[in-house]
A and B are shown apart, each in its own frame.
Chain A
Amino acid sequence: MQLIFEKSRPGRCGFSITRCDVGQEAKIPSPYLRKKECLWPEVSELDVVRHFTQLSQRNFSVDTNIYPLGSCTMKYNPKFTEKAAGIRGFADLHPLLPQLDHSLVQGALEVLYHMDRLLSEITGMDHFTLQPLAGAHGELTGVMLMAAYHRSKGNKKTHIIIPDAAHGTNPASAAIAGYDIVTIPTDKKGVLDLEALKKHVNSQTAGLMLTCPNTLGLFDSDVDKIAAIIHDVDGLVYYDGANLNAMMGRARPGDLGFDIVHVNLHKTFATPHGGGGPGSGPVGVKEHLSRFLPISRVIKARNGSYALDYDYPDSIGYIASFYGNFGVILKAYAYILMLGKEGLKEASEHAVLNANYIMEKLKAYYDLPFDRRCMHECVFSASRQEKKGVHAVDIAKFLIDQGIHPPTIYFPLIVKEALMIEPTETESKAELDILAQALIAAAQLADDDPARFKDLPKTMPISRPDEVKAAKDIRCNFFA
């Protein structure tokens, strides 16, 4: 397909400029002016509409395809929440208005205040900051909170403990905040190796980052013991909320001993993933850490009015320009209000039901490294198929030809040829049966005719890309 630049025709323009109703005598002195033309395309509005509509049709998405991408919680994104975020009184609101007068933004502050309360209750924490702009941003905020806590006690602790099953963002976030990483292996049951943990925990341990359920989709029944081990050396326990969708109404990180929590509104609370964002990664803490939370914080006065409060001398400071991805927060707020207590609980129940169902259906065809009840996702290995020369990536391409977005592959890293399947609660049994049939057909084809996988997919606008060339002859700008 042509690039938008290749559709450019001199003289076309898709923008209607407002007539200038003031004088045009003033000039910017020429040393300050650009000399080189900006090469944006010259295209009509119809050109642009057709181009981007056709581009959109070259995507798989939740609205068009089964999308069981493990660890990403690709649940259905309700349409009304888009409408809610578009309400003019929210969408047109300038973020600096509260600096002028809080009375101008009472509605927006009310949303933020209530969201703090709702997320606190859902996770069992005391206070939230809604500022982090994505999950990894929440992680960084969480680690900064840990650092502030230890600094306040005069301790300079040096490392953070992270299981080998964790998302790559955990060690990356901890490293950026200045910590060394200690990696703990996963045991035979698929959970954190408690003995290894005990060996590595010492006075230099600033904290532990734990995904729960973990990335194998397993809930660690020893989670409270793990928390106690960390607390014994005055470390803090961080809950990576990537997998909160398994837990709503069933367990709360705050009750399990976690001190800091981040949640991904774009996962558990159904805001769209946008092809890679915007997300939102609010962070919650227990009371003893609340004085370190980023500023500003939303407070409610006795008279019922809302305000932003900056008066927290121990705060870690500013981690975002404003109050978070407000448009995303608003969608998640609308979702939580609609589902309510029963709906949230039911969402987690069906997420877990669906994952266990697909696991059961596929057990006979794929290796299951940790064969036990899973929570919201299950992780198979294509090691059996690999012996025939068929890899996880080949199975993924087979699924694409069936109109199914593949599961996450090659993650978690501790499972060879991993296929990580997270159906979410919004898929039905009928859709899961289609997914299961496709994966069974892939397993059978791997047995019968493994060579057939090599040139898949065949039904897409492109076949497999040359990734090595992309990285070697780097070209990321049409004009370069």
Chain B
Amino acid sequence: MSGFISNTQADVQQMLKVIGVGSIDDLFADIKSHHRPRSFDIPSGRSEFEVMEHLYRVAADNASYLVSFLGAGYYDHYVPAAVNALASRSEFYTAYTPYQPECSQGTLQALFEYQSLICTLTGMDIANASLYDGGTALYEAMMMAIRITGKKKIIMDGGVSPIYRKIIRSYTSNLDIEFQETPVAHGRSDRSQIMKILDDRTAAVILQNPNFFGAIDDHEDIVGLAHAKKALVIESVYPISLGLLKTPGEMGVDIATGEGQSLGLPLNFGGPYLGFMASRKEYVRKMPGRIVGETVDTQGRRCFVNTLQVREQHIRREKANSNICTNVALCAIQSAIYMSLLGPKGLKDLASLIFNKAEFARQELARIAGVEVKRSSPTFNEFTVYLPRPATDIITKMAKKGFIAGFPLVRYYPGMDHYLLIAVTEKRTKEEILAFKSALEEAICS
């Protein structure tokens, strides 16, 4: 028997006898002959060894060996071995949604801890147990703001990841939501533009910090303006930056979301990732997704359950806050392990380290003739540079020299052909940064 099937031929015969049919085919009698597949042309099975050899060969066709300065919201951080060792406990990864709390306290407590870790990281009151990724989390936050305010106009800052903005636009194409986007000014949120269009009909202002170009901002003033119009503020954040930067909670933001990939998950070519969401406590009943709550058992012992399930689709069906069911619980647990290992000191040290490395890279690259480093606002671990030649040409040349040079902004911002977005993580050494600088000089001159 293949396919991880445990029944033997003898088992099958006995089972068919108990059921009272002559063959397995008889069990499929409801599928009539005219329902049968017109084709089922799948290759024959292979051994585990053969499949692995095949996959190693396929993986070798990917350029994972280049020294990378590519980020744009997704960062190549080091993941301590303990993270995978613990997340690979099969009691975590082969369980499902904790519908039965008595035999799922492991998952439930881990998710409660995850929610608490996200709350203190972002400075918010409450968090849910995860959404798919940073982009869909931002979409869910926007829908939540619409539910809370009963209004349908959304102001979106041009510094919000264009990847996220595209998702939000696609999701709402069949809905009656009014969008207005404000371009960034000098690399940051343009207050005067936002003020101009912010009105009583506005449900939410959506911001990002650091923004897509890497610039750091303090959005507290925008929060004040928005609240005066009874609009909410949603801010998408890069979690590692919060080791140093002012939190959404400190700015008075209503809903904070973000991409949690940097909290202990590999880049995985785009997923699975982790969408986190935290908010002020008065909005807990409007929040989408699973929420783990603390309670007591019949003997008064502390325990944890999925709570406020009346918000969810399996109870409320078409009136639910969201259609989300399966989320990314394992990724949330994985990030909880990562956050616990780092602790407050590890987080702060890591944030300082990558800030310092990025500053070093920024200063070094600024010395190259023809390269302009935008300095209008401070940055964290990512920054935009102007190149004397189209960024896409430079990237191609740099790949031949062993580097992924960064992200060409022209892909999302027409006209920005010469702009390159460069990210630095703790994995990049001084030596690599200097080698990158030399290679870039050559690429520009050649």
Asked if A339 lies at the interface with its beta carbon under 8 angstroms from chain B, I say: yes
Q: How far is the CA of A460 from the CA of B106 in the complex (A)?
A: 12
Contact with A along B1-28 (1 / 0, CB 8 A): 1111111000110111011110010011
Q: How far is the CB of B112 from chain A (nearest CB, A)?
A: 7
- With A76-B4, A316-B170, A361-B18 as known contacts, state yes or no: A471 contacts B68, CB within 8 Å: no
Query: Are A82 and B356 in contact, with the CB atoms below 8 A?
Result: no
Bound: A405/B101 CA distance, A: 11
Q: Is the CB of A462 within 8 A of B303?
A: yes
Asked if B178 is at the interface (CB within 8 A of a chain A CB), the reply is no
Cα of A252 to Cα of B281 in the assembled complex, Å: 47
Q: Is A390 an interface residue (CB 8 A)?
A: no
Q: CB within 8 A of A100: which of B70, B169, B170? A: B70
What is the bound-complex CA distance between A116 and B135, given in angstroms?
Answer: 24
**A352 B295 Cβ-Cβ under 8 A:** no
Pair A121/B42 contact, Cβ less than 8 Å? yes
Q: Does any Cβ of B come within 8 Å of A196's Cβ?
A: no
* Most A CB within 10 A of own CB, among B24, B95, B294: B95
Rounded to whole angstroms, the CA-CA distance of A29 and B249 in the bound complex is: 19
| Cβ-defined contact, B246 with A31, below 8 A | yes
Among B307-330, those with CB < 8 Å from A are: 307-308, 310, 312-320, 322-330
In the complex, what residues of B have CB within 8 A of residue A28's CB?
216, 244-245, 355, 378, 380
**Chain A residue with Cβ nearest B84:** A86
Q: Contact check, A96 vs B407: say whether CB atoms are below 8 A apart.
A: yes
Residues of A with C-beta under 8 A to B312: 168
Flag if B36 contacts A87 (CB, 8 Å): no
Q: Which of A19-27, A231-239, A437-445 contacts B (4 or more CB under 8 A)?
A: A19-27
Report the minimum CB–CB distance from B282 to chain A (whole Å): 11
Interface of A is mostly: loop
* Interface contact A48-B246, CB-CB below 8 Å: no
Whether A400 pairs with B74 at a CB distance below 8 angstroms is: no
Interface flag for A289 (CB, 8 Å): no
Query: Which residue of B31, B86, B217 contacts A48 across the interface (Cβ within 8 Å)?
Result: B86
Q: Give the chain B neighbours of A411 by CB distance below 8 A.
A: 314
Q: Flag if A57 contacts B323 (CB, 8 Å).
A: no
Distance of A33 Cα from B380 Cα, bound (Å): 11
Chain B nearest CB: distance from A295 CB in Å? 9
Residue interface mask A246-288, B partner, CB < 8 A = 1: 0101111001100000000010001011111111000000000
Is A303 an interface position by the 8 A CB rule?
Answer: no
> When the two chains form their complex, are residues A64 and B298 in contact, meaning their CB atoms are under 8 A apart?
no
Q: Are A20 and B271 CB-contacts (below 8 A) given A100-B408, A277-B327, A460-B103?
A: no
A185 lies within 8 A of chain B by Cβ? no
Shortest Cβ gap from A350 to chain B (Å) = 5
In the complex, B52 has a CB within 8 A of chain A:
yes
A82-B88, A277-B330, A400-B102 given as contacts; is B243 within 8 A of A342 (CB)?
A: no
A476 touches B326 (CB 8 A): no
Please state if B269 and A278 are interface contacts (CB–CB under 8 Å).
Answer: no
Known contacts A24-B352, A58-B105, A58-B106: does B328 contact A108 (CB below 8 Å)? no
Binds A, one of B113-121, B189-197, B198-206: B113-121
Residue in B5, B6, B313 with the greatest tally of chain A CB atoms within 10 Å: B5
A386 within 8 A of B: no
Min CB distance A286 to B, Å, is 13
Q: Does the CB pair B326–A321 fall under 8 Å?
A: no
Q: Is A14 an interface residue (CB 8 A)?
A: yes
| CB within 8 Å of B: which A93-129 residues | 93-97, 99-101, 103-108, 110-111, 118, 121-122, 124
Is B123 a contact partner of A36 (Cβ separation < 8 A)? yes
Categorize the interface residue count of chain A.
35 or more
Chain-A contact segment, one of B59-67, B365-373, B436-444: B59-67
CB pair A322–B82 under 8 Å, yes or no, is no
- Please provide the chain B residues from 127 to 184 with a CB less than 8 Å away from any CB of chain A in the complex: 127-130, 132-136, 143, 163-164, 166-167, 169-171, 173-175
Task: Given A89-B60, A337-B54, verify A320-B326 contact (CB < 8 Å).
Answer: no
Known: A121-B40, A136-B325, A328-B271. A337 touches B51 (CB 8 A): yes
Given contacts A41-B343, A95-B74, A224-B34, contact A278 B271 (CB under 8 A): yes
In the bound complex, what is the Cα–Cα distance between A14 and B346 (angstroms)?
Answer: 8
Distance to closest chain A CB from B269 (angstroms): 4
A477-B270 contact in complex given A272-B330, A277-B327, C-beta closer than 8 Å: no
Query: Contact partner of B346 among A17, A140, A356, CB < 8 A?
Result: A17
CA distance A317 to B167 in the complex (A): 7
| A49 with B86: CB separation less than 8 A | yes
Find chain B residues with CB under 8 A from A163 CB.
Answer: none
Q: Which residues on A sit within 8 Å (CB–CB) of B32?
A: 221
A462 B105 Cβ-Cβ under 8 A? yes
Q: Which residue of B lies closest to A77 (CB)?
A: B94
Cross-chain contact B35 with A122 (CB below 8 angstroms): no
User: Are A69's CB and B305's CB within 8 A?
Assistant: no
A397 at the A/B interface (Cβ < 8 Å)?
A: yes
How long is the Cα–Cα vector from A180 to B345 in the complex, in angstroms? Answer: 51
- What residues of chain A lie closer than 8 Å to B143, measured between beta carbons? 176
Tell me if B233 counts as interface (CB < 8 A to partner A): no
Could you tell me if B3 and A339 are in contact, using CB atoms closer than 8 angstroms?
Answer: yes
Would you call B225 an interface residue if the criterion is a C-beta within 8 Å of the partner chain's C-beta atoms?
no
Q: What 0/1 readout, one digit per residue, does chain B (212-247) give for beta carbons within 8 Å of chain A?
A: 000011100000000000000000000000111111
Using known A-B contacts A338-B47, A462-B105, determine if residue A93 contacts B35 with beta carbons closer than 8 Å. no
- Provide the residues of chain A in CB contact with B243, threshold 8 Å: 38
Residue A291 lies at the interface, judged by CB distance under 8 Å to chain B: no
Q: Is the CB of A426 within 8 A of B4?
A: yes
Chain A residues near B388: list those with CB within 8 A: none
A16–B309 Cα distance when bound, in Å, is 40
Tell me whether B96 and A69 are in contact (CB under 8 A): yes
CB 8 Å contact bits of B37-51 with A (1 = contact, 0 = none): 111111111111001
B126 on the A face (CB < 8 A): yes
Residue of A34, A273, A336, A465 near B96 (CB, 8 A) is: A273
B387 at the interface (CB under 8 A from A): no
Residues in A with CB closer than 8 Å to B109 are: 1, 3, 55, 58
Q: Does B435 have its Cβ within 8 Å of any Cβ on chain A?
A: no
Check B105–A461 contact: CB distance below 8 A.
yes
A83 part of interface (Cβ distance < 8 Å): yes
Q: How many Å lie between the Cα of A43 and that of B339 in the bound state? A: 10
Set of chain A residues within 8 Å of B101, measured between Cβ atoms: 462, 465
* Chain B contacts for A278, CB-based, 8 A: 132, 271-272, 326, 328, 330-331
**Does the CB pair B105–A88 fall under 8 Å?**
no
- Pick 17 A–B contacts, CB within 8 A, sort by A: A33-B246, A40-B121, A55-B105, A60-B104, A78-B4, A84-B51, A87-B59, A99-B408, A133-B272, A251-B36, A272-B330, A273-B96, A275-B92, A322-B269, A338-B45, A425-B5, A465-B295
Q: Which 5 A-B pairs give the minimum distances between C-beta atoms?
A: A322-B270, A340-B45, A89-B59, A274-B330, A317-B170
Known A14-B342, A87-B56, A324-B270; further 6 A-B contacts with Cβ < 8 A: A24-B352, A96-B74, A135-B325, A346-B5, A463-B102, A474-B307
